[in-house]
Structure 1
Amino acid sequence: MADYLIATLSDRIQAEEVHLALQEIGLSEPNLSLFGKGYKTGEDCKDFDPALIKKRQMQRMMIFLLPLGFVGGIIFYQAVRLDVLPSLGFFANAVIGGFLGAASGALGGYVTGGGLSLMLDKAVPYAEQIESGTFLVVVRDAEDLKMRQANRVFRILNIDNVAYYERPD
Structure 2
Amino acid sequence: MNYLVAVLSDRIQAEAAYSELETEKFPMDTVAILGRGYKSADEYGLIDPQEEANRLSKLMSSWLIPFGFAAGFTFSLITGLNTFAWAGEIGNHIIGGLLGAIAGGMGSFFVGGSVGLSAASGDALPYRNRLNAGKYLIVVKGEEPLIRRATTILRQFNPENIQGYTDPTGR
**What secondary structure, in the 3-state scheme, does the structure 2 residue paired with 1:6 have?**
strand
RMSD between superposed Cα atoms in Å: 3.8
In the alignment, what sits opposite 2:153?
153
In the alignment, what sits opposite 1:130?
131
2:8 maps to a residue whose letter is L
CA distance in 2, matches of 1:17, 1:148: 19
> Structure 1 pair 60/132, CA: closer, same or farther in 2 (3 Å)?
same
* Bigger radius of gyration: 2
Give the TM-score of the pair, scaled to structure 2: 0.64
Give the TM-score of the pair, scaled to structure 1: 0.65
The 5 A counterparts of 1:16-35 are 16-23=15-22, 24=24, 26-29=26-29, 31-35=30-34
CA distance in 2, matches of 1:20, 1:84: 75
> Structure 1 pair 80/157, CA: closer, same or farther in 2 (3 Å)?
farther
Aligned residues: 161
> Structure 1 pair 112/136, CA: closer, same or farther in 2 (3 Å)?
same
The 5 A counterparts of 1:83-102 are 83=81, 85-87=83-85, 88-89=87-88, 90-102=90-102
CA distance in 2, matches of 1:135, 1:78: 58
> Structure 1 pair 117/148, CA: closer, same or farther in 2 (3 Å)?
same
CA distance in 1, matches of 2:73, 2:163: 45
Q: Which has the higher helix share?
A: 2
**What secondary structure, in the 3-state scheme, does the structure 1 residue paired with 2:18 have?**
helix
> Structure 1 pair 102/131, CA: closer, same or farther in 2 (3 Å)?
same
- Contact between 1:22 and 1:150, CA under 8 Å: does it hold in 2? yes
- Contact between 1:66 and 1:102, CA under 8 Å: does it hold in 2? no
The 5 A counterparts of 1:49-88 are 49=47, 51-52=49-50, 54-74=52-72, 76-77=74-75, 80-81=78-79, 83=81, 85-87=83-85, 88=87
> Structure 1 pair 104/49, CA: closer, same or farther in 2 (3 Å)?
same
How far apart are 1:125 and its partner, in Å? Answer: 6.3
- Contact between 1:35 and 1:41, CA under 8 Å: does it hold in 2? yes
Q: What fraction of aligned residue pairs are identical, expressed as a percent?
A: 25
> Structure 1 pair 4/55, CA: closer, same or farther in 2 (3 Å)?
farther
How far apart are 1:15 and its partner, in Å? Answer: 0.8
- Contact between 1:4 and 1:48, CA under 8 Å: does it hold in 2? no
How far apart are 1:34 and its partner, in Å? Answer: 0.7
Q: Which runs of 5+ in 2 are unaligned?
A: none
Moved >6 Å (runs of 4+): none
- Contact between 1:8 and 1:162, CA under 8 Å: does it hold in 2? yes
How far apart are 1:55 and its partner, in Å? Answer: 2.5
